[in-house]
Every structure is written in structure tokens, then in C-alpha cells.
Amino acid sequence: MNILITGVTSGFGLAMAKRLIKDNHTIIGTGRRADKLSDIKAELGEQFIPLCFDIGNLDDTKSALDSLDKALLNNIDVLINNAGLALGLESADKADISDWQAMINTNITGLVSITNLVLPKMVAKNSGLVINIGSTAGNYPYFGANIYGASKAFVKQFSLNLRADLIGKNIRVTNIEPGLCGGTEFSHIRFKGDNEKASKLYEKVDYIRPEDIADMVHYIVNLPPHININRLEVMPVAQTFAGLTVVKDL
Ligand SMILES: NC(=O)c1ccc[n+]([C@@H]2O[C@H](COP(=O)([O-])OP(=O)(O)OC[C@H]3O[C@@H](n4cnc5c(N)ncnc54)[C@H](OP(=O)(O)O)[C@@H]3O)[C@@H](O)[C@H]2O)c1
């Protein structure tokens, strides 16, 4: 199969690329860091096709896709919308507007742009699978999740609405909604390089690994064609739902 994964330069995307190459698929892997992409190309070889662009920029996204061989572009079997980020964990009143814009631009605008470009090609051949990487943050509010959580709630509803639009077509859509995962750059980026803060979060917690998410993707890709998993919410055993917060003497 031909599988397009956004954000393969680290974390889940990289683990997925490695897992799916092992299964003998062709991987088109994207990211903004050209050096990382060429290292991955050197490691994964011929079956890995790197595409370097910022997913938040529609023109760059279009030209990156247009640079692909036409036969390949018209035959993407699986689109994995993985690229995304969280920035900051402050309350909404203290948040930086440029952080909010970056999250909206990547997690929402970028995700819908590439979907808009690839989906018609799947419809034309009446087959395909879209896997979106949402988050439990899209399901349960927590302090400081403000725009990140809202962007992932968007991804969940967009996934469900895609399925609704695709009725009668052999195209599947799954939203994977992970809870706490370690071993990626996610918290390093969220805390803007404050690695102490980031590593505190994972201290003494048996968190989900990128390879666990890659295994779930492998499972979804290999499901019988008549099965669609709408949403797959996963948490480490050490995590449960956020409690409802009450403050005394308000
Ligand atoms: N880790 C968690 O706890 C967790 C939990 C739930 C959901 N998620 C979601 O899982 C996805 C992957 O996260 P991760 O933990 O693997 O994080 P990560 O290690 O930081 O990886 C994020 C990937 O997205 C790419 N990316 C970010 N902004 C981009 C942009 N504007 N254009 C192109 N590529 C961009 C990055 O590549 P470049 O920097 O090279 O551009 C990188 O490859 C995200 O959508 C995240 O929200 C993570």
C-alpha cells in the first residue's frame, strides 16, 4: 500500500513509518526538518519518500504533493494525519495568541488542507483509509488544555463528519485518541524546551509508547475491509479521566 504520514520526523509518526515499512508498504513521510527526513531516508531506504514542508502553509502543501509521481499521488491508500503540537499549559487568560494560532494552523488548518487534497483521489478510486491522530484532550477538559483540547475536539468531529459524508463509499476514517504518551518530542515542544518540566510529567508513570500507537495503526490498516473503527481512545493504565474540579470558599 501507499501510505502518507504527516509528521514522521519524531514520535508517533516516526514509529509508524518504521512499523509500516516493515510491513512492506511505501511510506510518504512529511515534516519541516529536512535533516531529520534525510536521516530517516538513509535508514529506511527506497520505500521511504520524504516530503519537506510546513503543513500549515497550503501553497507549500500543494506543491509538495504535486512534486510526487502522479501515479503515486493518485494512489494513496492510507492518509495518516499525525502532525500536530501543543504549546503551553497556562490558563487561557495567560496564553500567548501566537501559540494558539500555531496550534490552530497545524492541528486544524494543516490537517484539513491535506485531507482536502487527498480525499478526492480516494473517492475517485472508491477506496482509502484516513487515520487522524486526535487526543483524549479532545474528549476531557483539563487545566491549560484550552486551544489544544479544542483543536483535538475539532479533529474528532471532523473525523466523524467525514465518515458521514463518505456513506456508500469504501473509504474508512478512524480517529485515534491517545492519552499520556512518552518517548516523543510532544512535551519538550509544549514546555518550550524546559526538559525538567517535561520529564516530571512522565516520572514514575508507565506511559504509552510511540511503538504502541504504531501497533494500533498497523492493526487498523490490516482490518478486514468491511470494518470501520470510528474512534479509538487509549490511555495508559496509570491514567484515568479528569475529575470535576471544585474550589472551596470561592
Ligand atoms: N505525545 C502525546 O502525549 C500525545 C497524546 C495525544 C495525541 N498526541 C498527538 O499525536 C501527534 C504526534 O505527536 P507526538 O507525540 O509524536 O509529537 P512529536 O514527537 O512532537 O511529533 C510531531 C510531528 O509533527 C510534525 N509537525 C509539527 N508541526 C508541523 C508543521 N507545521 N508542519 C509539518 N509537520 C509538523 C513534526 O515535524 P517537524 O518538527 O519536522 O515539522 C513531528 O514530526 C500530534 O498530533 C499530537 O497532538 C500526542
Question: Where are the extended beta strands (E) located within 85-170?
Answer: 128-133
Chain centroid, CA 224 distance in Å: 23
How do residues 93-105 score in pLDDT, each as one tens digit? 999 999 999 999 9
Of 27, 36, 82, 209, best ligand 1 pocket probe by most atoms within 8 Å of the beta carbon: 82
pLDDT band at 12 (very low <50, low <70, confident <90, very high): very high
Q: How far apart are CA 26 and CA 75, in angstroms?
A: 11
Is the per-residue pLDDT at 133 higher than 80?
yes
Of 27, 32, 131, 136, best ligand 1 pocket probe by most atoms within 8 Å of the beta carbon: 32
- The domains located in the chain, with CATH, are 2-234 (3.40.50.720)
Q: Which residue has the cell 502522479?
A: 70
Cβ(178) – ligand 1 distance below 6 Å? yes
Q: How far apart are CA 85 and CA 65, in angstroms?
A: 22
Cβ(39) – ligand 1 distance below 6 Å? no
User: Between helices 11-22 and 210-221, what is the axis angle to 10°?
Assistant: 50
What's the confidence (pLDDT) of residue 5? 99
Cβ(138) – ligand 1 distance below 6 Å? no
How do residues 151-190 score in pLDDT, each as one tens digit? 999 999 999 999 999 999 999 999 999 999 999 999 999 9
Neighbours of 127 (CB within 10 A): 14
Is the per-residue pLDDT at 28 higher than 80?
yes
Is the per-residue pLDDT at 243 higher than 90?
no
CB 240 within 8 A of CB 142: no
| Among 237, 230, 242, CA closest to 140 | 242
pLDDT band at 242 (very low <50, low <70, confident <90, very high): confident
Cβ(189) – ligand 1 distance below 6 Å? yes
